[in-house]
Homo-oligomer: A and B are copies of this chain.
């Protein structure tokens, strides 16, 4: 039974009754927060600091020693100082030999240095085992205990044993370690906390662009045209009427864009006769943000539903309804009931409701905790089968809504068709191509290609 705390092996096999000692270099905000949490979880913490003077901010129970003394007391040393000061570690190289150094640093910009901080540290002190960890955790969250976000701690390092020791600490603090492999992953881990929804960028910029386009398109058709032609001021249409044209159009286009890359990929695979050539880069990226595209589409569908349900409460709509009734009476004329209109009105509403319902279902199954608890076949069933059914229902909803209006001249003001007619282009294309791909003469070779068959098999040498 070896109780020398600087012996790595000792930590895992004995000293079960004694508290492990962890050393922290740096008494800054993050170092203190980490120490506070570690002491709470039963570790004993020793700070390595230049000034022996003890700040009142050091958590109770922690020791403060010189760097050398502190390093000798523990097998794991957390380097909570900025990268610029790493070279002060050089004189300590000997005492750090064989120790586990945990790099917790972050940069201020993406890819600030060509070499990640952790790799730089490993190069400075080659005798130590460097592990990257804790950089995604906020000091404030550690101290206040409100770890709602970022319970995940990304860990990487070249030494499996050292990584395991760090991951044990992570778990003991109530956090979730995620092994990211060798120290090569450090660059990516250091970039991670600087990113703001990287996967959402493309869908959001795309929809902002589409919103701008369709806003001006509808503004011209629905506000400027009547003003020019009939001198009617319909500027209040901007708040709801135009918003309620943009939302369904975007929801439909974005939903179709979720399924377009899959259809393109199938066409490329059929053409190439193999699934082993890489897709073009843009297609790969597109396929990776399909979930985000779909969720943005769902957001627009949700807004469309709210805007639609609010219709009968609008002052404009109530006024128009009343004035129509009054004009009917004054003209002593009653509109007869039109069965076709009733059918069309009820059908497009019913199609919209069912489409939205399936859309919400798709959204719920894409929640991490739900999608984690279904198996692969179920996930594919929901995202592919139900997804296409949603697209079909939403496209049909738009087509029936259009109804006979496609043929009316009044739908083409200044030769501009209604916005919803433009929105039908992408989904109809996707559905037609998908329909063609379902025919056995194309479906069979595609299935074989996806199972690994190649039209022209290649072997190196």
A binding-site residues for B, Cβ under 8 Å:
15-17, 20, 28-29, 40-42, 53-57, 136-138, 141, 144, 146, 148-152, 158-162, 171-172, 174, 176, 178-182, 192-197, 233, 235-236, 239-241, 243, 276, 287-288, 291, 299, 302-303, 305-316, 318-319, 321-326, 328-330, 334-335, 337-339, 341-347, 349-350, 353-354, 356-357, 360-361, 366-381, 451-452, 458-461
Bound Cα distance from A283 to B439, whole angstroms: 45
> With A239-B350, A459-B53 as given contacts, are A357 and B299 in contact (CB-CB < 8 Å)?
yes
CB-based contact B55/A460 at 8 Å: yes
4 closest cross-chain pairs (CB), A and B = A16-B161, A149-B379, A369-B369, A315-B345
Q: Are B151 and A349 in contact (CB under 8 A)?
A: no
Question: Would you give the shortest CB distance from A236 to chain B, in whole angstroms?
Answer: 4
Does the CB pair B325–A378 fall under 8 Å?
Answer: no
In contact, B141 and A376 (Cβ under 8 angstroms): yes
A374 contacts which of B149, B180, B361 (Cβ < 8 Å)? B149
Contacts of A314 in B (CB 8 A): 342, 345-346, 349
**A179-B41, A323-B334, A461-B53 are known contacts. Are A193 and B339 too (CB-CB below 8 A)?**
no
Tell me the minimal C-beta distance from A15 to chain B in angstroms.
Answer: 8
CB distance from A432 to the nearest CB of B (A): 26
The dominant DSSP class at the A interface is helix
Is the Cβ of B172 less than 8 Å from the Cβ of A347?
A: no
The chain B residue sitting closest to A158, CB to CB, is B17
Q: Decide: B178 and A460 in contact? CB cutoff 8 A.
A: no
Given A369-B369, A372-B152, A378-B149: A460 touches B54 (CB 8 Å cut-off): yes
Within the assembled complex, what's the spacing in Å between the Cα atoms of A306 and B158?
56
- Given A17-B159, A308-B313, A375-B149, are A302 and B357 also a contact pair (CB < 8 Å)? yes
Closest CB of chain B to A392's CB: distance in Å?
A: 17
Given contacts A240-B349, A276-B57, A309-B310, contact A28 B319 (CB under 8 A): no
Question: Is A356 touching B308 in the complex (CB atoms < 8 A)?
Answer: no
A174 lies within 8 A of B178 (CB): yes
